[in-house]
Amino acid sequence: MTRPTLSHAAMTQFPLAGDELLVGGMPLTRLAERVGQTPFYAYDRQAISARIDSLKAVLPARLELHYAIKANPMPALVAHIASRVDGLDVASAGEMRVALDAGMPAAAISFAGPGKRPQELRQAVAAGVCLNAESITELQRLHEASQALGVPARVALRVNPDFELKSSGMRMGGGAKPFGIDAEAIPAALRRLAELELQFEGFHLYAGSQSLRAEALIDAQSASFELALRLAADAPGPLRILNLGGGFGVPYFPGEARLDLAPIADHLAALDAQLLSAQPQARLALELGRYLVAEAGVYVCRVQDIKQSRDTTFLITDGGLHQHLAASGNFGQVIRKNYPVLLGNKAGQSADQRYSVVGPLCTPLDVLGSEVMLPQAAIGDLFVVLQSGAYGASASPRGFLSHPDVIEILV
C-alpha cells in the first residue's frame, strides 16, 4: 500500500539549537523546567510581533487591524498585541474586561456575538465600546441601557450577508444564521436605530474562518464592501467603520500552503481608495484572530509511556483532547487530520519512526497524532504540537476527566 505523500507546510517560526527546539529563544527542555510541569502552551512574543509587522507592511495604512480575542484570550498575550494593533474585538463581557485591562482604549474595542445578555450590553455601554448589534431586541436593550446610564450607545450593525465565504473551515454568514441581521432586514433596523437615538458607527460582516484561498477571501471582501455601501444609503449618519471580518487561515494539515497575502493586500488598497471617495469619514477594519497568533504557539506535553499494540506503537502523553481539542480533530474537522508535530528535545534528529500519539483520556477520540513520523522516542521526551496559538486552551473541554489544568506562558 502506498501512503499519502502530502507533507506539512514548512514550519520555520521556531529555530533549532542542536537537537532542541527554541521557543522564546530558550531550548524547550529548559523551558519545560522553567514552567515546572507539562503540559503547557507557550506563545512566542517575537513570532506574534513579526506576524503583525509583516501584515502592516502590506496592508493599506488607513486600514485598521484588529485582534479578535476569542482566538486566544490569555491576558499577557492580549496585552502584548494591544500595543501593536488598532483595535480589539471581543465576544463577551469577560473578553471586554481583558481588552480594557490590556490598555486598549474603549473607543477601539468592538463587541460582537449573538445573545449578548442585557447586563453585558449595559456594561459595554458604560465602558463606551462599540456594540455590533445582532438583532432588533439588542437595539431596544441598548436604548434602555443608554437611557438608564445617560451614556450614548455606539452601535454598528452586524450584517448576515446573502453570500458565504467559499472554502472556509467554518461558515459564519450567508443563508439562515444566528449571527447578525439579515441583509434584507438592515434598512428597517437602521430606521429603528435612528428612532432609538443610538449613535450609528457602521457595519460589521464576518463571512467565515480559516480560509487559505486568497481568491475566496477577495470575493467575500468585495461582496461585503459592495453590500455595506448599498446599505449605507439608508443609514442615519455617515459610515465610520466598515469591518470586513477576518477568516485568514493558517496551514494545519498536509498539503496546505500559507495564504498568499499580496493579492489580498492589493485588493484592500483598491477598496480603501473607493471608500475614501464614497464615504470619506469611514475606515476599513479587519478583525483577525487565528492569523495573528496560531503559528506563534506550541503545545508541549511529555511522553509517559510507550506501548506496542499489535502493529502500532503508541506514545502515551500527559496531554490530550481535554487541553487541545482542535489537534485531536474534534473541533470543526470532518475527517481527522494530523497537526504538524515533533519531539522538541530531538527536533534535529531524523523522523524515521512511525507512532500514534495519544493522551491519557479513556476515549478513542484522544488522539494527538495518528501514524506520525518522529525520531526514535523515549519516555520523558517532549511531544510538541505546532500551530497551537489559536483556539487551543480556551477552546478545549479542560474539565473532562479531571486531570491537572494546562499552564499558558508568553515567552
Which is nearer to ligand PLP, 92 or 123 (by Cβ)?
92
Which is nearer to ligand PLP, 302 or 324 (by Cβ)?
324
Q: Is 206 in the site for ligand PLP (CB under 6 A)?
A: yes
CA distances for 371 relative to 4, 312, 349, 368, angstroms: 12, 8, 18, 10
Q: Which of 287, 295, 381, 408 binds ligand PLP (CB under 6 A)?
A: 287
On the question of a cis peptide bond just before residue 39, with omega within 30 degrees of 0, the verdict is: yes
368 within 8 A of 359, measured Cβ to Cβ: yes
Residue 265: how many other CB atoms lie within 10 Å: 16
Give the binding-site size for ligand PLP (rule: CB under 6 A): 18
* CB of residue 209 to ligand PLP, shortest distance in Å: 3
Q: Is 285 in the site for ligand PLP (CB under 6 A)?
A: no
Q: Which of 38, 72, 160, 209 binds ligand PLP (CB under 6 A)?
A: 209
Q: Is 290 in the site for ligand PLP (CB under 6 A)?
A: yes
Q: Is 122 in the site for ligand PLP (CB under 6 A)?
A: no
* Residues near 383 by beta carbon (within 8 Å), at least 6 away in sequence: 300, 301, 302, 303, 315, 317, 319, 341, 343, 344, 357, 368, 369
Q: Which of 104, 112, 124, 198 binds ligand PLP (CB under 6 A)?
A: 112
Residue 362: how many other CB atoms lie within 10 Å: 7
Q: Is 44 in the site for ligand PLP (CB under 6 A)?
A: no
Look at the chain and count its residues: 411
Q: Which of 44, 89, 366, 408 binds ligand PLP (CB under 6 A)?
A: 89
Q: Is 247 in the site for ligand PLP (CB under 6 A)?
A: yes
DSSP tag of 279:
-
Q: Is 202 in the site for ligand PLP (CB under 6 A)?
A: no
Site residues (CB under 6 A) for ligand PLP, limited to 308-367:
none
Q: Is 201 in the site for ligand PLP (CB under 6 A)?
A: no
396 within 8 A of 323, measured Cβ to Cβ: yes
Round to whole Å and give the CA distance between 384 and 41.
10
Q: Is 138 in the site for ligand PLP (CB under 6 A)?
A: no
Work out the angle between the directed axes of helices 261-278 and 214-232 (0-180°, nearest 10). Answer: 10
Encoded amino acid at 164, one letter: E
Q: Which of 55, 100, 288, 343 binds ligand PLP (CB under 6 A)?
A: 288
Site residues (CB under 6 A) for ligand PLP, limited to 226-245:
245
Q: Is 51 in the site for ligand PLP (CB under 6 A)?
A: no
204 within 8 A of 112, measured Cβ to Cβ: yes
Where along the sequence are the contacts to ligand PLP (CB under 6 A)? 68, 70-71, 89, 91, 112, 206, 209-210, 245-248, 287-291
